[in-house]
């Protein structure tokens, strides 16, 4: 290996952030396998899952669990071990650690402690999905998982309505239809998008179309597996679906403007006064 790669010389410990397959086990890199076979300890999200990966490649190494709910408690021990010279590999169940997965606290603590941190790059669902979505990739925004509560989710989407970059979201399959419906109402039904499901796995699928078409499709057909949503950014002439249009739906049902604005404010998390003023400007003779 070159001097820029892993070396076991010297007493100083290291933290090696190792990407692992997101589905297909053959996607692990030769360098990742060499490092996993050479480190002193592997910190992993699930020791059983990582154990299966190691066994597949004939590797036997000590492992320690390191996941979202115990990360804060694990970090001091791992830092202490590295200060004593241990070389630790950080992995997650799938993909690149610290990207919507545990890891950034340990990475930050290692930097603060003067411990060298090295990347061992490989699979990432964000990049893999972007590469096959057929949407602009020169600039993009990774949003990860949207908030679980409806109002908070819609508020986040409202804040992104005029975002010009391509947007990437992770989502649970059971929420896909609901999230696509919300995106349609906020970004507009014509906005181009793609849903990439089970990437690199046996039943990989990429569904492309407008948000309206995708929302209709996944309302009728239940999605399964891991899901990544890619949404085109707003163009200069694009006018995202606004809360004022939603207000108009209530007005059409005979509800007054103030009450309609209050209802939409509750649904979206936006200020009632802002919605009221926006709707008022769109009314005839204004």
Q: Which two tokens stand for residue 279?
A: 């709707």
Q: Which two tokens stand for residue 100?
A: 């919507």
Q: How many CA atoms lie within 13 A of 79 on its CB side?
A: 18
pLDDT (0 to 100) of residue 256: 87
pLDDT (0 to 100) of residue 6: 42
- 8 Å CB contact between 211 and 188: yes
- Report how far residue 9's alpha carbon sits from residue 32's, in angstroms, rounded to the nearest whole number: 18
Strands (E) located in the chain: 14-18, 41-44, 63-65, 87-91, 116-120, 140-145, 166-172, 192-197, 205-210, 226-231
pLDDT (0 to 100) of residue 274: 78
Q: Alpha-carbon torsion 272, 154, 184, 144, what sign?
A: positive
Q: How many residues does the chain have?
A: 286
Domains of the chain: 14-123 (3.40.1010.10), 126-231 (3.30.950.10), 243-282 (no CATH)
Interstrand relation of 192-197 and 205-210 (parallel, antiparallel or unpaired):
antiparallel
Residue found under tokens 């070396």: 7
Q: How many CA atoms lie within 13 A of 237 on its CB side?
A: 1
Q: Which of 95, 81, 74 is nearest to 19 (CA)?
A: 95
Task: Give, for all 286 residues of the chain, the pLDDT tens digit.
Answer: 333 444 444 457 999 999 999 999 899 999 999 999 999 999 999 999 999 999 999 999 999 999 989 988 999 999 999 999 999 999 999 999 999 888 999 999 999 999 999 999 999 999 999 999 999 999 999 999 999 998 899 999 999 999 999 999 999 999 999 999 999 888 988 999 999 999 999 999 999 999 999 999 999 998 999 999 999 999 865 655 555 456 777 787 788 888 888 887 776 556 788 778 877 876 666 5
pLDDT (0 to 100) of residue 282: 67
- Report how far residue 188's alpha carbon sits from residue 191's, in angstroms, rounded to the nearest whole number: 6
| Distance spanning both ends of the chain, measured CA to CA | 71
Q: Which two tokens stand for residue 72?
A: 């804060």
Q: Which two tokens stand for residue 6?
A: 């892993």
Q: Which of 262, 233, 230 is nearest to 247 (CA)?
A: 262
Q: Alpha-carbon torsion 38, 41, 44, 49, what sign?
A: positive
pLDDT (0 to 100) of residue 8: 46
The reported pTM is 0.78
């Amino acid at each position: 290996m070159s001097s820029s790669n892993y070396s076991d010389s010297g007493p100083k410990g290291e933290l090696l952030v190792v990407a692992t397959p997101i589905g297909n086990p053959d996607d692990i890199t030769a360098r990742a396998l060499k490092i996993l076979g050479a480190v002193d300890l592997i910190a992993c999200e699930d020791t059983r899952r990582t154990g299966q990966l190691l066994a597949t490649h004939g590797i036997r190494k000590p492992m320690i669990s390191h996941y979202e709910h115990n990360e804060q408690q694990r970090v001091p021990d791992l830092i202490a071990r590295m200060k004593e010279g241990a070389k630790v590999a950080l992995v997650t169940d799938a993909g690149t650690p610290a990207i919507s997965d545990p890891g950034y606290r340990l990475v930050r603590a290692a930097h603060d402690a003067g411990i060298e941190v090295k990347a061992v790059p490989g699979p990432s669902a964000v990049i893999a999905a972007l590469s096959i979505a057929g949407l602009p990739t020169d600039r993009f925004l990774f949003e990860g998982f949207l908030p679980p509560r409806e109002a908070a989710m819609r508020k986040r989407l409202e804040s992104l309505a005029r975002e010009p970059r391509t947007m990437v979201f992770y989502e649970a399959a059971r929420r896909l239809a609901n999230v696509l419906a919300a995106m349609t109402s906020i970004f507009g039904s014509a906005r181009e998008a793609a849903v990439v499901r089970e990437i690199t796995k046996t039943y990989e699928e990429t569904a492309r179309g407008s948000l309206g078409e995708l929302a209709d499709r996944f309302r009728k057909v239940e999605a399964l597996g891991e899901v990544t949503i890619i949404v085109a950014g707003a163009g200069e002439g694009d006018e995202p679906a606004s809360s004022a249009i939603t207000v108009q739906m209530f007005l059409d049902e005979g509800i007054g403007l103030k009450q309609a604005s209050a209802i939409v404010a509750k649904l979206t998390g936006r200020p009632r006064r802002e919605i009221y003023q926006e709707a008022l400007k769109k009314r005839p003779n204004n």
